[in-house]
Each structure stands twice: as C-alpha cells, then as structure tokens.
Amino acid sequence: MDIDARGPRFGAAVTTVVLAVVLITGSAWLLAWQALAFLLGAAGGVRRSPYGWLFARVVRPRLGRPTAFEAPEPPRFAQAVGLLFAGLGLVGYTLGPEWLGLAATGAALAAAFLNVAFGYCLGCELYLLVRRATVRAE
C-alpha cells in the first residue's frame, strides 16, 4: 500500500532540524535519538517512526487529502541509509575521531535537506539504483 508522500518529507524536515542541532551542539545523545528514529523507520517503515507517527496524528489531519503517493520501500531504505550515517556519526562523537561525527552527521543533514527543500530523496534514488542493478543481474 502506497503512503502519503508528504509524510517522509515531514520526517525529513524534523530530521534536518535535529541533525543541525547535533552539528551545532555536538550532542551524541541527540544523534542517538535520531539514530533510534532511523532504526524504527527502517525496521517498521516510515509510518512506525516517531516522525511518521507525529505526521499521521498531528499534521496530516490538518492538511487536505493527499495528492501524491509513493511506494513505502524507497523511504524505508532511505531510513536505513540514514541509520548507517547516524551510527558512523555516533562512533565519531563518542569514540573519535570527531571529524567522523561531523562528516557523517553533515552528510545525513545534507540528504535530509535535499528531501525537504527539493523533494529529492538520495536514499530513495539509491534504492531504485540498487533495484535496477539487481533486476538486470537476474
């Protein structure tokens, strides 16, 4: 079943703010929260992530009917990619080197910002690229 395309974009907006605050403060705890949000989104789909839950219960009821839908698999894969970068960022912030935390968090922030500002989901595009390569290999 396809999902309201505004949901993942809302999640990316919240993620952008969270990751920007992580870069400003260097808070490993806040990055751990974001990693948990990515984990829940990757494991259960974007609807089961904290930001997906917030969108469904607070934001979506105040909006009009959705006009665009998307398959849930690409955003779910994007959550897994975000989890990878948040995990690398946590390693950098907690164990070092600090530049790894900054770089990984900055990369995740850039990807989230692209989704919010331009509707371009890097993780989704990576999913589609991998899927096309897998289909050709078969």
Q: What is the pLDDT of residue 66?
A: 93
| Tens digits of residue pLDDT in 80-96 | 999 999 999 999 999 99
pLDDT digits (tens, 9 = 90+) for 39-52: 999 999 999 999 99
Q: Say if residues 51 and 39 touch (Cβ distance below 8 Å).
A: no
Closest by CA to 73, choosing from 114, 32, 134, is: 134
Q: Is 10 exposed, middle or buried (0-12, 13-18, 19+ CB in 10 A)?
A: buried
Q: 138 pLDDT exceeds 80?
A: no
Q: What predicted TM-score, i.e. pTM, was given to this entire model?
A: 0.93
Looking at the chain, the whole-number percentage of residues with pLDDT higher than 90 is 94
pLDDT of residue 8: 96
Q: Residue 3: beta bridge partners?
A: 70
Phi and psi of 31, rounded to 5°?
-65, -35
Residue partners of 138: CB distance under 8 A and separation at least 6: none
- Number of residues that make up the chain: 138
Domain boundaries, the chain: 3-137
